[in-house]
Amino acid sequence: MNLIENGCKFSSDHHTQITVKPHSDYVEVLFEDQGIGIAESELDYIFQPFYRATNSHAIKGNGIGLSLTEKIIKLHGGRITVISQLDQGTRFRVDLPSLPGLDEAAAEV
């Protein structure tokens, strides 16, 4: 939820595009925005508690959302990566392991 909220909060159009791609052993979820972006020099720090990118200080927040998001994803055996360019936007990719039997359940729907 935090990735959706951040994409909306940091984009002038207040939109986040979400794409879900199922794979045989994991599910890939992309969260993309056309927002303010994150400087490459700051990408290594964005998952640290209370860290806020230099260009984000004018926008309300505390800097705890991404650190909690990363912890939750890791607790579920997943991983999160980010690609971003200033004034172009940001794309977060979340990979989560598939649940056993999920393919069969999806096929029945």
* pTM score, whole prediction: 0.88
pLDDT in tens, 18-56: 999 999 999 999 999 999 999 999 999 999 999 999 999
Residue 94, H or E segment: strand 89-97
List Cα–Cα distances, 24 to 31, 94, 102, in angstroms.
Answer: 21, 15, 10
Residue type, 86: L
Neighbours of 62 (CB within 10 A): 8
Task: Write down the CATH number for the domain with range 2-108.
Answer: 3.30.565.10
CA 45 – CA 76 distance, rounded (Å): 22
Residue 18, H or E segment: strand 17-22
Listed by start position, the domains of the chain span 2-108
pLDDT in tens, 43-96: 999 999 999 999 998 899 999 999 999 999 999 999 999 999 999 999 999 999
